[in-house]
Structure 1
């Protein structure tokens, strides 16, 4: 599988992307030191990556649990005819939504939500029911919550299932 880009990325671009995904608050001087460029050289490269739309934004990752939203869930939504959540609603009506994705298949949307309690989740369900049927899966733990995108030299490693005989 090859990665197709409008603007090919070189090894230095990938180093910059890895560093900024790990810490978006790096100074240009520190970023340059880590990737082998001067501070102004790093700043110019970052500007080009931003202009190309490769770097879309910078922001803090907030732990929902630490701000009073300990329950997270993924909700699959099948919108009722004429009541599409994407077309008839504003995200501001659902501040619990962290992510909202259009889907193919039998459900039209996947929502990631964070709520303060089961009662809060129930109230969210009541508001969401106006748009259609849904299935909710509570998150019991999160193994990967933010992954650095690094396709400079993609290699796929298959992990054998536990207790398998792949290696025999």
Structure 2
């Protein structure tokens, strides 16, 4: 889908505040509310906007342990890994990746004991490497026109 300047402005605003009303969006992009609504709906229909969500702090709700678990799943075990490990509640993100490891999981847990139990379950399907997250310098950075056009590094 070809995006124009107005589409990118709407995407920028919505990525920063997904709860912004159509009226407020319209003011910020200097369009009427109905025209703004139609633009946003078009972006949704095209699959450019895939959803809206609240960002929740796991630490604030009793999940202070965050880790990246890399798993080298044996090829025959991939379907079972997808069925049994990926859906577990501790898994916040699960990326099937290239390279030495097959899966990159971001997990949250109440304790290191719970993390150890999670890793033991994952090890049934292959080798794991676990890294505790001390902090995250970037989370949910908006997708911008500059990166899409390949000019972010210039």
Matches of 1:134 and 1:90 in 2, distance apart?
A: 13
Q: 1:124 aligns with which of 118, 122, 126?
A: 118
Higher Cα Rg, which structure: 1
Q: What TM-score, normalized by structure 2, do the two folds share?
A: 0.91
SS in 2 for 1:83: helix
How much has 1:18 moved relative to structure 2? 0.2
C-alpha contact 2:85 2:122 (8 A) present in aligned 1: no
Q: What count of residue pairs does the alignment treat as equivalent?
A: 149
Q: Which sections of structure 1, spanning at least 5 residues, go unmatched?
A: 1-6, 158-168
Residue number in structure 2 paired with 1:66? 60
Q: What TM-score, normalized by structure 1, do the two folds share?
A: 0.84
Q: 1:8 aligns with which of 2, 10, 26?
A: 2
Residue number in structure 2 paired with 1:36? 30
Matches of 1:155 and 1:130 in 2, distance apart?
A: 41
1:89 corresponds to 2:84: yes
Change (3 A) 1:140 1:90: closer
1:138 corresponds to 2:135: no
| Structure with greater helix share of residues | 2
Residue number in structure 2 paired with 1:45? 39
Query: How big is the alpha-carbon RMSD for the aligned residues of Structure 1 and Structure 2?
Result: 1.4
Matches of 1:35 and 1:100 in 2, distance apart?
A: 36
Q: 2:96 aligns with which of 67, 91, 102?
A: 102
How much has 1:130 moved relative to structure 2? 1.2
How much has 1:80 moved relative to structure 2? 2.4
C-alpha contact 2:85 2:121 (8 A) present in aligned 1: no
